[in-house]
Amino acid sequence: MAIAKAFGKSSEDKKKREFQRLAALEQLDLLDTPRDEGFDRIVRLIKQVFSIDIGLVTLIDAHRQWYKACSGMSVDEVPREDSFCRYVVDDEEPVIVKDASRDPRFAQHPAVTGESHIRFYAGVPLKTRDGHIIGTVCAIDRSPKSFAARDLAILEELAGAAMDRIELLQSAATDSLTEALTRRAFKQEADQRIVQALRHRHALSCIVLDIDHFKSVNDAFGHAAGDEVLKSVAAICRAGLRAGDLFGRLGGEEFCIVLPDADRERGLAVAEKLRAAISAEPVRGAYGALDVTASFGISTLSIVGKDIETLLAEADAAMYHAKHRGRNQCVAWSSIRPDPTTGSRRRVLKAGSILFNNRRSTIDCTIKSLGADSAGLTVSSSVGIPGEFTLCIKGENFETLCHVIAQDQQNVEVVFKL
């Protein structure tokens, strides 16, 4: 009995730590942010200092490991359950694997047995000042290696430099590539516009736009071409906005706009104007002419949508409906949720599980936005997820039946069957 109690307490402690860890990650608001030269320099240093093949700076949410910077691999993320780094987060300490083929935890891992041929791994926690592990810094090689105490100390110093870079970026106001406001600066400015709109009872609209098939541009023509697409789209948006409008970059290919004194019809009109301008302007370079389109979601200040997090979550959900309907179009949140007193959505970062097949099948997910009657989820792959399933929020005794209303490869929009 004593052993069972001790185990139960340990399990509850782990749930609490994971909840706090995700809260710290949400507060930093770093997931899916644009590439940054400071982190790229750190991963290049890792490769040079240790003479290894792969350097990583990663962030780990509820279901995936996302690479903030990566040198030596072409992927952007992996499922958390498939990552070596999950052991760093679970154990809250560095993990050194000199030869993965001889380690029972990894010997049968596809990255070890397959073409990647991973053998050596060293991962250290990326830790906030409050001690929460939000990710890892890693050195990886395709040959077995030893790793002395001095090597570990150097890798931990590089992790400290990465965390310093994260803290520095919290104060950055402008994205260096597109000249848009950074995510954090955009939200701060938007909050002020919302306060003014509420005080004077003025309308205000929020737009989220995402470039269609952007990953295929990077894959086919390289990141330089992708950067040109981003700069072109940003320039078109800035040219089509008023001086008092806000324009920011939410993530890699996702931008956001706040339109003061703009009701739903005005927001839709601006979004349609920008959509048409982007689709009419090919991006030209050594790769030829690339036709670019974007999908738009629009939300409007309402009785329940009174803060930027809610407006962004609603516009984001509407944007995924635009993607689901065929891309290169505009969708308003109010057309999905016509009742202004219900259905508000707020951005969150929570660990969830998708249960189906009579609860025999489980897929981990991250809940990115949540309302009283709907939610937005991210998954490593939406392939195989049925039209209806049960959603659980881990550690919160929350469970509800859901119906899928829109999805793409990694995003699933659901309504609750109350």
pLDDT per residue over 160-191, tens digit each? 999 999 999 998 999 999 999 999 999 999 99
Mean pLDDT (whole number) for 116-121:
97
CATH code for the structural domain at 183-336: 3.30.70.270
pLDDT tens, 199-213? 999 999 999 999 999
pTM of the shown model: 0.85
Pairing of strands 64-71, 54-60: antiparallel
Q: What pLDDT is attached to residue 3?
A: 38
Kindly state the average pLDDT of the residues 321-328. Answer: 94
- Give the C-alpha separation, 49 to 46, whole Å: 5
Q: What is the pLDDT of residue 338?
A: 61
pLDDT of residue 306: 82
Predicted local distance difference test score (pLDDT) of residue 1: 35
Was domain 346-416 assigned CATH 2.40.10.430?
yes
Task: Return d(Cα 166, Cα 28) in angstroms, integer.
Answer: 8
- What fold characterizes domain 27-169? Beta-Lactamase (3.30.450)
Q: 110-119 — which CB contacts under 8 Å span 24+ positions?
A: 110/82, 111/82, 111/84, 116/142, 117/142, 118/84, 118/142, 119/143, 119/144, 119/145
Q: Please tell me the predicted confidence (pLDDT) of residue 201.
A: 93
DSSP H/E element including 120 = strand 120-127
Give the percent of the chain with pLDDT over 70. 96
d(CA 346, CA 369) in angstroms, rounded, equals 5
Quick one: angle between helices 264-279 and 223-239, nearest 10?
Answer: 140
Please give the mean pLDDT across all residues of the chain: 93
Give the pLDDT of residue 417.
87
Q: Where are the alpha helices (DSSP H) in 92-182?
A: 110-113, 149-169
Query: Which ranges in the chain are annotated with CATH 3.30.70.270?
Result: 183-336
pLDDT given for residue 224 in this prediction? 92
Q: pLDDT tens-digit profile of 221-234?
A: 998 999 999 999 99
pLDDT > 90? residue 406? no
Return residue ranges of the chain for CATH 3.30.450.40.
27-169
Residues in the chain, total: 418
Helix (H, G, I), strand (E, B) or coil at 352: strand
Residues 6+ positions from 416 with CB-CB distance below 8 Å: 373, 374, 375, 391, 400, 401, 402, 403
Residue span(s) of the chain under CATH 2.40.10.430 come to 346-416
